[in-house]
């Protein structure tokens, strides 16, 4: 995933319900060295007593009332899978967050992510283009897209548990695994 992406309200709700994160050695007991993909409904599953659709509805009301820009931030790997690539620099993450919060990131040209459909910036002063478009940081775009599509399939499989009561437009805001367009 790109290090930052602008989400529509429905995409925001999809990702909020999904609660995508990873377990990292040193923060979880019994893990190996490699980070482990996990999902924690609404980013707090153990503490949620209601169905995710209820929390998503509360978030939707806030989004409709205040009309915020919603951003998805990824601090994971670029340049290849774990062991090949490296973690996104905290400096780049800070630069992107400052640009998002100041509004300057909204002025940048974007590309539509071919799998998740969100908008990611092509440029941000102080952040290399290959960081903004992770497919460019891997030695093989095909290898990247294979892994990326596997991640998207995990999102879709996870979301099946939460579809009851979730509006169809939120379900439709998830990733798409159809044919991919050419290089972007």
Q: What is the pLDDT of residues 76-85, one digit of tens each?
A: 888 998 889 8
- Stretch 14-26: mean pLDDT: 84
Q: Options 3.90.1150.10, 3.90.228.20, 3.90.226.10, 3.20.20.70; which CATH number does 4-165 get?
A: 3.90.228.20
Tell me how far CA of residue 89 lies from CA of 47, 74, 103, 129, 136, in angstroms: 31, 11, 21, 14, 16
pLDDT for position 89? 94
Q: Is the pLDDT of residue 14 over 70?
A: yes
State the chain's mean pLDDT as an integer: 91
Q: Encoding tokens for residue 109?
A: 């040209």
Q: Encoding tokens for residue 25?
A: 């050695």
pLDDT for position 30? 61
Tell me how far CA of residue 76 lies from CA of 36, 87, 155, in angstroms: 11, 5, 16
Q: What is the DSSP string of 125-169?
A: TTB-HHHHSGGGGSS-HHHHHHHHHHHHHHHHHHHGGG-TT--HH
Q: Is the pLDDT of residue 184 over 60?
A: no
Please give the residue that has the higher pLDDT: either 17 or 78: 17
Closest C-alpha to 72, from 38, 41, 97: 97
The answer to whether 158 touches 18, Cβ cutoff 8 Å, is yes
- Stretch 46-57: mean pLDDT: 94
pLDDT for position 183? 46
Q: Is the pLDDT of residue 166 over 80?
A: yes
Q: Is the pLDDT of residue 67 over 70?
A: yes
- 0.75 surpassed by pTM: yes
Phi, psi of 44 (to 5 degrees): -170, 40
Q: Encoding tokens for residue 49?
A: 């007593």
- Stretch 9-17: mean pLDDT: 98
pLDDT for position 21? 86
Predicted confidence (pLDDT) per residue in 111-126, tens digit:
999 999 999 999 999 9
Predicted confidence (pLDDT) per residue in 120-147, tens digit:
999 999 999 999 999 999 999 999 999 9
């Amino acid at each position: 995933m790109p290090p930052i992406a602008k989400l529509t309200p429905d995409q925001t709700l999809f990702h909020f319900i999904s609660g995508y994160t990873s377990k990292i050695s040193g923060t979880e007991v019994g893990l190996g060295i490699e980070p482990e993909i996990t999902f924690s409904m609404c980013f707090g599953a153990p503490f949620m007593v209601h169905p995710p659709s209820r929390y998503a509805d509360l978030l939707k009301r806030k989004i409709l009332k205040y009309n915020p820009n919603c951003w998805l931030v990824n601090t994971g790997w670029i340049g290849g899978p774990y062991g090949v690539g490296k973690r996104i620099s905290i400096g780049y993450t800070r630069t992107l967050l400052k640009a998002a919060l100041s509004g300057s990131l909204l002025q940048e040209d974007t590309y539509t992510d071919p799998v998740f459909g969100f908008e990611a910036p092509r440029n941000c002063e102080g952040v290399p283009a290959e960081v903004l478009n992770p497919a460019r940081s891997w030695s093989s775009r095909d290898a990247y897209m294979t892994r990326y599509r596997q991640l998207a399939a995990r999102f879709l499989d996870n979301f099946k548990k939460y579809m009851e009561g979730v509006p169809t437009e939120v379900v439709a805001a998830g990733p798409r695994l159809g044919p991919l367009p050419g290089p972007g």
